[in-house]
A and B are shown apart, each in its own frame.
Chain A
Amino acid sequence: MSIFDLTIARASKALKAKEISAVELTTAYNGAVAALNPRLNAYITTTPELALEQAKAADARIAAGEATALTGIPIAMKDLFCTEGVRTTAASKILEPFVPPYESTVSAKLKAAGAVMLGKANLDEFAMGSSNITSGYGPVENPWKRVSDPDAKLVPGGSSGGSAAAVAARLALAATGTDTGGSIRQPASFTGLAGIKPTYGRCSRWGIVAFASSLDQAGPMARNVEDSAILLNAMAGFDEKDSTSAQREVPDFTRALTRGVKGLRIGIPAEYRLEGTNPEILALWEKGITWLREQGAEIVDISLPHTKYGLPVYYIVAPAEASSNLARYDGVRFGKRVDGVDLIDMYERTRAGGFGAEVKRRIMIGTYVLSHGYYDAYYLKAQKVRNLILRDFTNAFAKVDAILTPTAPSAAFGLGEKMDDPVTMYLNDVFTVPASLAGVPAMSIPAGLNAEGLPLGLQVIGKHFDEETVFAVSAAIENAAGFSALPELRAK
């Protein structure tokens, strides 16, 4: 077994048993990053020396018997988490020189647990995208290849594309991501990983570059459900610096993994069966249903009537909040500045030069839907429909304990595809967006491969703050699916 085959759970055990050292583990991963990252571009900034320092400290901690489950574990940190002293760009040119003088709460918690940071993972600029192609630092290559066309470059999904590619190609043991409309789940599905968007408020948003404040959530991306649970244990928790942070106890999520699904009611929403959905995905969904039924779950047909309005709601609300959140990027106090003849000119040139096309589009849509005369018709209306979407879930959860759906309408697509107009790209999030709008926890687990040998994920959605049921159901699917495929392009 190669060192790269160790999961977090396994690696942690091996480290405790002194079978390997943290320095060895990190050195191996540093090497993998050096070898493969130039091609995959999963990292914007690599921090091999810092990682080695952290690994040494981890070894000391392990020796002192003070290790946690994450001590010495090398991870990729999505470059949306502000890391003190380490450049943080949000994949935007406008933040190219930005070195935060503070550490985000979530990354600080991982640091405190002894995790080792290999570098800052690539993403869609300001987390706006579903393919990682909007990054100001180049696209990310999905290590998975089509059987019929192994040379074609595929996208890893987005916005947490770099995190996904890094974990899939074994350039990290696990990664942090953020999910606003599907940015953890969809790339997890495209790269064969387990990734969860926790309940809104479960993880602190302090220090995470904000995209859409009422939707953003940090979460783990890992090789399997157990590793995700270990990571979420460390990432979650109340933060007094975040007014939207939930004052809730964090249970040990790993304990939910062995619960099983006997007697659980699993909802299958009719509205997720879209016309024209890829039949392989529908077939996988059926398989998932069978697996759960075989393990003792009760399958219940449910309706989430406002599902199809999720995307239009999202593409009003998220850009609106983003247009306001990104107003601070003005070249005055940090980031890149482009000079101008006066202040307004400086603002306009700085922002035009620093933001990419997708970010500009969303800022402009957001500005428009909040503007005088349009607020009621767009923003206010969207927030009302959002309430209806939440009600759909509330009503459904009176009848079921969890909901099973596909994660994405397709497998990973090619770089350069789906570029006809912005909306085509947005449709990637059709299954993930509703859970984001309602704030409920949702996880994607790899369930199978399509005919091209590309991973397909299934999504499990749970009640507010019931990540435990989500983990239990996901573990059941994972066990039944026996997904063990790996991309050829990876560290070995």
Chain B
Amino acid sequence: MSLDAATVRRIARLARIRVDDNEVETLKSELNAILGYVEQLGEVNVDGVEPLSGGAQMALRQREDFVSDGEIPEQVLANAPDRVGNFFAVPKVVE
């Protein structure tokens, strides 16, 4: 499966990373090199094999329902690149 320039741009858009025109070709060949390398998984027979996720196989631990966190707005906002009062601020969105 080989990527073309249009796909590279589409992926960049999905990932919200700006890619300039002069970067597309390089990115394309680098990504295709990686994809070419992982293609060899096509050789492996996985009939009847379940996908694995995470090395630990335990059941999900559930916590008790009570308020144990939050009420720290100053700390939450302390690293904000932009804020308006106690809100985070971003360029205006038009819906």
Q: How many residues of B contact A (CB 8 A)?
A: 51
- Verify A439–B88 contact, CB threshold 8 A: no
Find B81's partner among A337, A365, A367, A422 (CB 8 Å cutoff): A337
Known: A313-B41, A342-B91, A347-B16. A334 touches B79 (CB 8 A): yes
A337 and B58 CA atoms in complex are apart in Å by 39
- In the complex, the chain B residue whose C-beta lies closest to that of A358 is B30
- Verify A368–B3 contact, CB threshold 8 A: yes
- Which positions 37-54 of chain B face chain A at CB distance < 8 Å? 37-41, 44, 46, 49-54
- Verify B55–A331 contact, CB threshold 8 A: no
- Verify B41–A368 contact, CB threshold 8 A: no
- Which positions 432-482 of chain A face chain B at CB distance < 8 Å? 438-440, 464
> Which of B16, B54, B60, B63 has most A Cβ within 10 Å?
B16
**Which B residues are in CB contact (< 8 Å) with A335?**
79, 81
- In the complex, the chain B residue whose C-beta lies closest to that of A323 is B15
A230 within 8 A of B: no
A309 within 8 A of B: yes
A386 and B88 CA atoms in complex are apart in Å by 41
- Verify B81–A331 contact, CB threshold 8 A: yes
A314 and B88 CA atoms in complex are apart in Å by 36
- Verify B46–A384 contact, CB threshold 8 A: yes
Among listed A62-70, A94-102, A405-413, interface-contacting one: A94-102
Known: A339-B91, A364-B11, A367-B11. A384 touches B52 (CB 8 A): yes
Q: Is the interface of A mostly helix, strand, loop or mixed?
A: helix
**Which A residues are in CB contact (< 8 Å) with B15?**
323, 351, 363-364, 367
Find A333's partner among B1, B16, B79 (CB 8 Å cutoff): B79
- Verify A374–B79 contact, CB threshold 8 A: no
Chain A: minimal CB distance from B23 (Å): 9
Chain A: minimal CB distance from B71 (Å): 13
- Verify A368–B56 contact, CB threshold 8 A: no
- Verify A440–B55 contact, CB threshold 8 A: yes
A422 and B78 CA atoms in complex are apart in Å by 37
A336 and B82 CA atoms in complex are apart in Å by 10
A341 within 8 A of B: yes
B90 within 8 A of A: yes
- Verify B58–A246 contact, CB threshold 8 A: yes
Find A346's partner among B8, B60, B75, B91 (CB 8 Å cutoff): B91
- Verify B56–A246 contact, CB threshold 8 A: yes
**Which B residues are in CB contact (< 8 Å) with A380?**
51
- Verify B40–A309 contact, CB threshold 8 A: yes
Chain A: minimal CB distance from B93 (Å): 5
**Which B residues are in CB contact (< 8 Å) with A20?**
none
B80 within 8 A of A: yes
A398 within 8 A of B: no
- In the complex, the chain A residue whose C-beta lies closest to that of B80 is A333
- Verify A243–B61 contact, CB threshold 8 A: yes
**Which A residues are in CB contact (< 8 Å) with B35?**
365, 368
**Which B residues are in CB contact (< 8 Å) with A23?**
none
B33 within 8 A of A: yes
- In the complex, the chain A residue whose C-beta lies closest to that of B93 is A343
Find B55's partner among A214, A327, A332 (CB 8 Å cutoff): A214
Find A351's partner among B8, B17, B49 (CB 8 Å cutoff): B17
Known: A101-B78, A312-B40, A368-B3. A422 touches B30 (CB 8 A): yes
A111 within 8 A of B: no
Chain A: minimal CB distance from B84 (Å): 13
- In the complex, the chain B residue whose C-beta lies closest to that of A346 is B91
Give 27 A-B contacts (CB < 8 Å), ordered by A residue: A99-B78, A201-B56, A246-B56, A247-B61, A312-B38, A316-B41, A323-B15, A333-B79, A342-B93, A342-B94, A351-B15, A355-B17, A360-B27, A364-B8, A364-B15, A364-B17, A365-B35, A374-B1, A378-B38, A381-B46, A384-B49, A385-B44, A386-B52, A390-B55, A421-B33, A422-B30, A439-B55
17 new A-B contacts, CB < 8 A, other than A200-B54, A364-B27, A388-B44, are A97-B79, A101-B76, A199-B55, A309-B41, A312-B41, A332-B80, A332-B90, A345-B18, A345-B91, A346-B91, A351-B18, A364-B17, A365-B34, A367-B14, A422-B34, A426-B34, A438-B55
Chain B interface residues toward A at CB < 8 A: 1, 3, 7-8, 11-12, 14-19, 27, 30-31, 33-35, 37-41, 44, 46, 49-56, 58, 60-61, 63, 72, 75-76, 78-82, 88, 90-94
